[in-house]
Structure formats: structure tokens, C-alpha cells
Amino acid sequence: MVFIQNSNYLQFLAKFGVGGAHPGGINLSKEIMKNERILPASHILDVGCGTGQTAAYLASHYAAHVTGIDINPIMIEKARHRMKKAHVSVNIIQGSIEETSLPNEAFDFVLAESVLAFVNKQRALQEIFRLLKKGGRLIAIEFTVPMLLSTQQADDIQQFYGFDALLTKKDWVALFQETGFQDIRIQKNKDILSKPEFHISKDIESTLYDVMDQHMRMNEKYDTILDYRIYICTK
């Protein structure tokens, strides 16, 4: 977990309590979920749930059984506060998706919104596969580079965000297939956008404001490279 723990970008997200930081934000999440058969009996795992924005929506809108997991204690605290304030029943647990104590085949859906790029992908996908019921679905919104990058570009992006690797669409599909997933569907929807929400901590280091500024500069600098895809895979 060296990358995710040492990422100043992720610490910025936690301290500023950024909800909907993934591409498309909560509006994209809602649009994707509309096409899934989510029932009140459905069990959903939100991997890297952050402040719990998507998890709370799933629990309130679909009345589903929702569990959120995140490794960051600040995010966990903010997610639990959200659920309490909204009177929403969501099980929030702290831990890594690379290895959990959750039971085999416990979930109908696993949602990963810009999470797999930050962890050991093979271990995380194997764990997700274990947790999904037969016929269950992984829905992942993940950073995807459109082309092979120069060493300088790759180093710049990886060092700032804490990615251990930069994957193309073909790379992601190969990983899903190696894990055992089938019926892999790929989408891209850049028409849907959402304003991020903030639940700012009281004690924010001044360096994290610099991280926020750098993040904005990175988005401008690599506008055509910082891309994503939606991957929907079936166990």
C-alpha cells in the first residue's frame, strides 16, 4: 500500500473531504446505476468510499444493503458522520480492498470509483472477485491513458497522484480477464459532470493548498491524457 498511503493528492482529498472526486462525479454514478438491476435485497460494496457520497445515495435511493470501505481514517470519520446526519444505514469499515475480512460471495455489486489506479491492482481485483456473488458485477470508473506516454510524462503523473502504473484500455481489459471476469463492457461519457462537494477538516496543512493548485495545473497540462473509462464486468 505504499503508493496510496504516501499520496499527497489523496491526503488533500481526505482533508478537504472531497466528495465526487472521480470523473463525472455523483451524476455519472447515478446514470450508471440506472442501468443496473439494483433491488432492496441487493448487497453493494463501495470500494474506496471516501466521504460516502455514492454509498449514501445507493442506500437512500434504492434502499439496498450498502457497505463502504476506505483505508483513510479521515474519510471514514466523514463518511460515518454523513450517514448519521442523513439517517442512512450504511456499514462503513476501515481497511484495504487488497485484503478484507468480508465473507466470500457477499455482494451483488462492487463499485470502484477511481480507486483501483491507486492500489495493487492484481490483489484488489482478486479480492473483489472473491467478494462478488456468481453473476455479480464490478463497476469501475478508472483512470485510463489513451496512448503510451513518454517517460517524463508518466513519471510526472505517477509521482503526483501516487499511481503505481498507468494503464491503457487494453491493459485494464487484460487485468479483468486474468482475474476471471467475463462480459467486459467499456463506456465513456464525458457529457456528464458534477460539482464536487467539500467537507473540510479544521486542521489543514498549508502544503495541501499547494497540492490543490498543482492538481489544477496538472489537469490543464495533461487535459488530453488524464482520461477515464467505465468498465462493467461480470463474475
pLDDT at 154 over 50: yes
C-alpha cell at 11: 491526503
What is the domain count for the chain?
1
Determine the structural domain holding residue 68 and report its residue range.
2-234
C-alpha cell at 201: 477538516
Q: What is the pTM of this model?
A: 0.94
Q: Residue 80 burial by CB count (10 A; 0-12/13-18/19+): exposed, middle or buried?
A: middle
Look at residue 6 in the predicted model and tell me its pLDDT.
56
Residue range 185-195, pLDDT digits in tens: 999 877 788 88
H or E element in which residue 163 lies: none
- Partners of 68 in the β-ladder: 46, 92
The DSSP letter of residue 210 is H
SS3 226: coil
Q: Please, are residues 18 and 25 in contact by the beta-carbon 8 Å criterion?
A: no
% of the chain at pLDDT higher than 70: 97
Residue range 19-77, pLDDT digits in tens: 989 999 999 999 999 999 999 999 999 999 999 999 999 999 999 999 999 999 999 99
**Cα 28 from Cα 234, distance rounded (Å):** 20
CATH number at residue 163: 3.40.50.150
